[in-house]
Amino acid sequence: MSQLLGYARVSTTDQGLDIQEAALRAYADGLKQPIKLFSEKKSGTTTKGRDELARLLDYARDGDTIVCTRIDRLARSLMDLEVIANTLRYKGIHLKATEQSVDTSTPEGMAFFQMLGVFAQFETAIRRERQLEGIAAAKADGRYKGRTATIDAERIKQLVAEGKGATEIAKQLKIGRASVYRYLKETDGVAGI
């Protein structure tokens, strides 16, 4: 017997799944059919590390229907979306989105599904571009300093003064040897190593 399977996803832990889960339950109630939910708080830019999505795809069987609120809940990359679509097609599973005209059991719905995948990837690329532009503008204004340094500069200086080599410094400070060389190059402290 075919099942209705719901998938909800938000990108960050401070976002809630309640709205998506309620929409999926309401959809199932409208069909007077039970729904099994799979929910997670993970980025949609990749399928790696999305355990609930993997569990859902493994659990779903021929004739089942996976329901999500929007296609970007499944994937934001066209490549990932295509892999998911191929998996569903191979297993005989349908996909529906409650807020979009997606129903892969029809040719029109499948075409719309593929177009939405293109737009989801485009949206991700635009967001990434805007983020990089914002960082560049903040750097130009002197407001962006990058992440906090994790290398103890004073300790490196001390170890160099004690005659330690880059490999030994890296091991002692539990950092990469390349980081030691980079720090020394930036501070003109290459001599002696």
Residue 165 pLDDT: 86
Nearest to 8 by CA among 101, 85, 80, 73: 73
Helices 177-186, 166-173: crossing angle, 10 deg rounding: 110
- Homologous superfamily, domain 4-126: Resolvase, N-terminal catalytic domain (3.40.50.1390)
Judge whether residue 40 has pLDDT over 90. yes
Residue 189 pLDDT: 57
Tell me the per-residue pLDDT of 95-114, one tens digit each, with 9 for 90 and over. Answer: 999 998 788 887 887 777 77
Q: Which of 2, 11, 39, 43 is catalytic?
A: 11
Residue 188 pLDDT: 65
Domain ranges of the chain: 4-126, 153-186
Residues 66, 94 contacting (CB under 8 angstroms): yes
Judge whether residue 164 has pLDDT over 80. yes
Active site residue 101: no
Tell me the per-residue pLDDT of 115-149, one tens digit each, with 9 for 90 and over. Answer: 766 776 777 788 888 888 888 888 888 887 777 77
Nearest to 71 by CA among 104, 48, 93, 37: 104
Residue 59's pLDDT band, with cuts at 50, 70 and 90, is very high
Output DSSP code: residue 148: P
Residue with the bigger pLDDT between 13 and 180: it is 180
Residue 65's pLDDT band, with cuts at 50, 70 and 90, is very high
Residue 170 pLDDT: 86
Give the range with max mean pLDDT: 16-20, 81-85, 126-130, 154-158: 16-20
Give the range with max mean pLDDT: 58-67, 81-90, 111-120: 58-67
Task: Name the pTM for this structure.
Answer: 0.59
Judge whether residue 191 has pLDDT over 60. no
Residue 26 pLDDT: 96
Rounded to an integer, what distance in angstroms lies between the CA atom of residue 68 and that of residue 27?
10
Tell me the per-residue pLDDT of 66-76, one tens digit each, with 9 for 90 and over. Answer: 999 998 898 87
Residues 66, 56 contacting (CB under 8 angstroms): yes
